[in-house]
């Protein structure tokens, strides 16, 4: 499976920080469905792929009151995966499955950003550095 990333502009990051609250078990508890799953090329922000829009992918995050999570992902191409376990939330950082995301909650919207992703944007077999941005909506 190819990985895709999304590069945020400085204004987008500032906007997220201005209206978002810190992440915690209390404000994350519930089920969240991904509305975008975007990889953006860090060297060329115009190169981006939204796996939900372009490939029919889907992702769901469930956060229990106990502080455990279940993450389900369907790549839209016949491959699915499920992962779960404890998570850590530290202000603006959320660690799921060993991956630390910048995280923000704005009402019923959760945004996760991971700058260490990779994606083969030109399908040449070489992975390029990418930023992954996942936007989720609370059910």
Tens digits of residue pLDDT in 80-102: 999 999 888 888 999 988 899 99
Q: Is residue 28 part of a domain?
A: yes
Domain that holds residue 20: 10-138
- Residue 54 is classified by DSSP as H
Q: Is residue 5 part of a domain?
A: no
Q: Is residue 123 part of a domain?
A: yes
Domain total of the chain: 1
Containing H/E element for 51?
Answer: helix 51-55
> Using CA atoms, how far apart are residues 103 and 112, in angstroms rounded to an integer?
5
Q: What is the pLDDT of residues 99-117, one digit of tens each?
A: 999 999 999 999 999 999 9
Q: Name the nearest CA neighbour of 107 among 24, 21, 14.
A: 21
- Residue 26 is classified by DSSP as H
- C-beta of residue 104 within 8 angstroms of C-beta of residue 134: no
* pTM listed for this prediction: 0.83
- C-beta of residue 99 within 8 angstroms of C-beta of residue 69: no
Q: What is the pLDDT of residues 4-56, one digit of tens each?
A: 333 444 444 444 444 567 888 889 999 999 999 999 999 998 999 999 999 99
Q: For position 103, which CATH number holds? A: 2.40.128.50
Q: Is residue 85 part of a domain?
A: yes
Q: Is residue 3 part of a domain?
A: no
């Amino acid at each position: 499976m190819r990985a895709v990333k999304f590069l945020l502009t400085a204004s987008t990051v500032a906007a997220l920080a201005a209206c978002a609250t810190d992440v915690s078990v209390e404000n994350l508890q519930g089920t969240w469905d991904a509305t975008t799953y975007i990889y953006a090329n860090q060297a060329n922000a115009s190169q981006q792929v939204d796996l939900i829009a372009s490939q029919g992918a889907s992702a769901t995050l469930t956060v229990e009151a106990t502080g455990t999570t279940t993450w389900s992902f369907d790549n839209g191409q016949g491959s699915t995966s499920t992962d779960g376990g404890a998570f850590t939330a530290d202000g603006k950082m959320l660690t799921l499955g060993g991956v630390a995301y910048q995280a923000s909650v704005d009402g019923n919207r959760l945004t996760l950003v991971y700058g260490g992703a990779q994606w083969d944007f030109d399908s040449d077999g070489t992975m390029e550095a990418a930023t992954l941005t996942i936007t989720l909506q609370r059910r």
